[in-house]
Amino acid sequence: MSIKFAGLHHVTAIAGDPQENVDFYAGILGLRLVKKTVNFDDPGSYHLYYGDATGNPGTIMTFFSWPGAARGRTGTGQVSATSFSVPEDSLGYWTERLVEHGVRFAKPERRFDETVLAFEDHDGLAVEIVAGPGREEGEAWAGSPVPVEHAIRGIPGVTLSEQSGEVTENILTRLLGFEKAGEEDGRTRYLSTGSGGSFADVLALPEGAPGQTAVGTTHHVAWRAPDDETEEAWHEEIEARGLHVTPVLDRSYFHSIYFREPGGVLFEIATDPPGFAVDEDPDHLGESLKLPPWLERRRAEIERSLPPIHPPRERV
């Protein structure tokens, strides 16, 4: 059975200093900080969420912040790059903006009829600006330092580095409902729906070293389930395939299950509801520290343990 789904929900990576993270993603990239909370499994560290104006699924990049932790190593069994989409005519703006802020980037390259601008954030995490037709949708945030016409519209897809692409292809196509769309320069693209859907690019690196998850690497990628019923169906299907899957976990803003695909990448299935406005006014997303009910009694202790963070500095 293949359960069709709506594509990518969010990507979660690991950052070092939280203020540098805010300065880069909200300041340079112009994303909205839609939620400031903590890692529910490690409440002494921030969990920061960035996205479009209202934090729609498919636009969300999140970070666990571990100040002072060691750098990781990107390798096989990991998401090795996260792509951000911009309108086709915005590439010139973005090259100028990155130069202005001292961000080094690779020479733009063509990939599957799109232009890709690859660079790293301050922690060494690989990110890309992808400009191409059909990337004009999304709810741009009017309060961004980036003009609305050039704003990042969302996360169209990710790159998965694998020692073998075959086992991952089986999960993508037979479980998650992706369709193989093409191959180019050792990269195989899978699309969740039609040409405008989310993509998962698989790089087969049989001699590649396994990644080491720490600062500057991606922790997991989450795929969308429109509702709890669909997520339960996925849970049953994943179990039926002999993969270990967690129980459904309440993440306040969505409900989640987690499993590792056979190549080693940690996958999450996250529901669209209830969304980021469940505990904050949409006009004031990300302005105060939000805690789930079971951590509220520890608020004073948690706030003392977290370094203060402020709105982004435009020049970092």
pLDDT tens digits, residue range 220-251?
999 999 999 999 999 999 999 999 999 999 99
CB distance 113 to 132 below 8 Å: yes
Task: Using the predicted structure, report yes or no on whether residue 313 has a pLDDT greater than 80.
Answer: no
Residue 314 belongs to some domain of the structure:
no
β-partners of residue 157 are 83, 199
Domain residue limits at 24: 8-305
Task: Using the predicted structure, report yes or no on whether residue 295 has a pLDDT greater than 80.
Answer: yes
Overall domain count for the chain: 1
What would the mean pLDDT of 62-85 be, rounded to a whole number?
Answer: 97
Amino acid sitting at position 84:
F
Provide the mean pLDDT of the chain: 93
Amino acid sitting at position 205:
L
What is the predicted pLDDT for the residue at 155?
A: 96
Residue 312 belongs to some domain of the structure:
no
Q: Where are the alpha helices (DSSP H) in the chain?
A: 18-22, 91-100, 165-174, 228-240, 299-305
Q: Measured between alpha carbons, how far is 14 from 61 in angstroms, rounded to an integer?
A: 11
Q: What is the CATH number of the domain that holds 58?
A: 3.10.180.10
Q: How far is CA 252 from CA 106, 209, 248, 291, 315, in A?
A: 38, 36, 12, 9, 33
Residue 38 zone, left/alpha/beta (φ > 0; ψ -120 to 50; rest):
beta
Q: Measured between alpha carbons, how far is 145 from 147 in angstroms, rounded to an integer?
A: 6
What is the predicted pLDDT for the residue at 1?
A: 44
Q: Which two tokens stand for residue 155?
A: 């996360």
What would the mean pLDDT of 49-69 be, rounded to a whole number?
Answer: 96
Residue 87 belongs to some domain of the structure:
yes
Query: Residue 162: which pLDDT band, with cuts at 50, 70 and 90?
Result: very high
What is the predicted pLDDT for the residue at 315?
A: 43
What would the mean pLDDT of 144-161 be, rounded to a whole number?
Answer: 96
Q: Measured between alpha carbons, how far is 193 from 177 in angstroms, rounded to an integer?
A: 8
Residue 95 belongs to some domain of the structure:
yes
Task: Using the predicted structure, report yes or no on whether residue 308 has a pLDDT greater than 60.
Answer: yes
The model's pLDDT over 93-121, given as tens digits with 9 standing for 90+, comes to 999 999 999 999 999 999 998 999 999 99
What is the predicted pLDDT for the residue at 135?
A: 65
Q: How far is CA 117 from CA 25, 104, 140, in A?
A: 16, 10, 20
Give the global pTM.
Answer: 0.95
Amino acid sitting at position 191:
L
CB distance 266 to 220 below 8 Å: yes
Q: Measured between alpha carbons, how far is 200 from 184 in angstroms, rounded to an integer?
A: 13
What percent of the chain shows pLDDT beyond 70? 94
What is the predicted pLDDT for the residue at 316?
A: 39
Residue 316 belongs to some domain of the structure:
no
Query: What end-to-end distance do the CA atoms of the chain give, in Å?
Result: 49
Query: Residue 6: which pLDDT band, with cuts at 50, 70 and 90?
Result: low
Residue 111 belongs to some domain of the structure:
yes
Question: How many of the other CB atoms lie within 10 Å of CB of 183?
Answer: 12
Query: Residue 3: which pLDDT band, with cuts at 50, 70 and 90?
Result: low
Q: Measured between alpha carbons, how far is 39 from 43 in angstroms, rounded to an integer?
A: 5
CB distance 263 to 160 below 8 Å: yes
Q: How far is CA 238 from CA 28, 232, 286, 290, 307, in A?
A: 39, 10, 34, 32, 39
Query: Residue 58: which pLDDT band, with cuts at 50, 70 and 90?
Result: very high
Residue 219 belongs to some domain of the structure:
yes
Residue 1 belongs to some domain of the structure:
no
Query: Residue 273: which pLDDT band, with cuts at 50, 70 and 90?
Result: very high
What percent of the chain shows pLDDT beyond 90? 88
What is the predicted pLDDT for the residue at 195?
A: 46
Amino acid sitting at position 302:
I
DSSP secondary structure letter of residue 76? B
